């Protein structure tokens, strides 16, 4: 899919706990925030999320009009009425419409994203693991991220987060792929974004230690045996010589 078109972005963040800025001020132990919350003119899309201590708890799906918890277990501990998030998005959209009318309708600048692929834990062949594709410096927040194994698209088991806000008003997104490492497989995280001239592929494959070929192993064993035998013969010769010398009359 090739992304095209212009985008005007509206941002709105509500902080439920304010972090003190003055030197020497008491720091808050925990922080919750509504955000990033935004609406954009492209495809009438947007996002409303709630974070706690930097971790995303849930987001509101604007099309399904329901809360989507980052982990299903979170939904068993708390409840959030998605209408509250939809009302905030409606307010953001109204503000965006006013800003567009008052602006010169210049399109938002596209920023090329930065992509990193890494495993969740230490890689061992045959042991289940998770690959993580971290896409940073996203702006605008319209992006396609696809996993490929040996050049073939993978959709089964793939999971993703909503957009996380970065301090520089850009966005970050995570994509997850459960997999079983094999020496025969390689993976790519494919990223499509308006800031890229062409799709970006971030390659990853397990680093398998290079084993010595059979011929090399045989040669090493042969040399080891030869050196051992030579040492044995030298030792026997020295013992015999020493015995003869000690038995000779002075």
The domain spans of the chain are: 30-103, 114-204
Q: Which CATH architecture fits 30-103? A: Roll (3.10)
The 10s digit of each residue's pLDDT in 45-56 is 777 777 776 677
Helix (H), strand (E) at residue 80: none
pLDDT, average across residues 94-110: 79
CA distance 226 to 239: 20
For the chain, what is the mean pLDDT?
Answer: 76
CA distance 21 to 32: 17
Percent of the chain as helix, strand, coil, to the nearest 5: 25, 35, 40
Judged against a pLDDT cut of 50, whether residue 12 lies above it is answered with no
Q: What is the pLDDT of residue 154?
A: 95
Through-space distance between the first and last CA atoms of the chain, rounded to whole angstroms: 100
Judged against a pLDDT cut of 90, whether residue 77 lies above it is answered with no
The distance from CA 153 to its chain's CA centroid, rounded to whole angstroms, is 18
CA–CA distances in Å: residue 235 to residues 40, 225, 230, 232, 239: 85, 15, 9, 5, 6
Bond before 215 cis per omega within 30 degrees: no
Give the other-Cβ count within 10 Å of 209's Cβ.
Answer: 4
φ and ψ at residue 122, rounded to 5 degrees: -55, 135
Judged against a pLDDT cut of 60, whether residue 246 lies above it is answered with no
pTM of this structure: 0.65
CATH fourth-level superfamily of 114-204? Immunoglobulins (2.60.40.10)
Same CATH topology for 30-103 and 114-204: the answer is: no
CA distance 207 to 80: 44
Judged against a pLDDT cut of 60, whether residue 6 lies above it is answered with no
């Amino acid at each position: 899919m090739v992304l095209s078109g212009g985008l005007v972005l509206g941002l709105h963040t509500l902080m439920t706990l304010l972090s003190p800025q003055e030197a020497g001020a008491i720091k808050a132990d925990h922080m919750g925030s509504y955000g990033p919350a935004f609406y954009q003119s492209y495809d009438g899309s947007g996002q409303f999320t709630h974070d706690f201590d930097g971790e995303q708890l849930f987001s509101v799906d604007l099309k399904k009009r329901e809360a989507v918890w980052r982990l299903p277990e979170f939904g068993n501990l708390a409840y959030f009425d998605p209408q509250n998030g939809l009302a905030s998005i409606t307010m953001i959209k109204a503000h965006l419409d006013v800003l567009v009318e008052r602006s010169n309708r210049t399109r938002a600048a596209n920023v090329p994203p930065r992509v990193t692929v890494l495993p969740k834990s230490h890689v061992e062949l045959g042991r289940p693991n998770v690959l993580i594709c971290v896409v940073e410096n996203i702006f605008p927040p319209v992006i396609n991220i696809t996993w490929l194994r040996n050049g073939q698209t993978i959709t089964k088991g793939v999971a993703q987060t909503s957009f996380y806000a970065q301090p520089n008003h850009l966005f970050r997104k995570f994509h997850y792929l459960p997999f079983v490492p094999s020496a025969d497989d390689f993976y790519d995280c494919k990223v499509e974004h308006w800031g890229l001239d062409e799709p970006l592929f971030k390659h990853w494959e397990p680093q398998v230690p290079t084993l010595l070929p059979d011929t090399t192993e045989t040669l090493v064993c042969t040399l080891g045996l030869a050196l051992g035998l030579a040492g044995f013969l030298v030792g026997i010769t020295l013992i015999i010589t020493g015995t003869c010398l000690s038995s000779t009359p002075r």
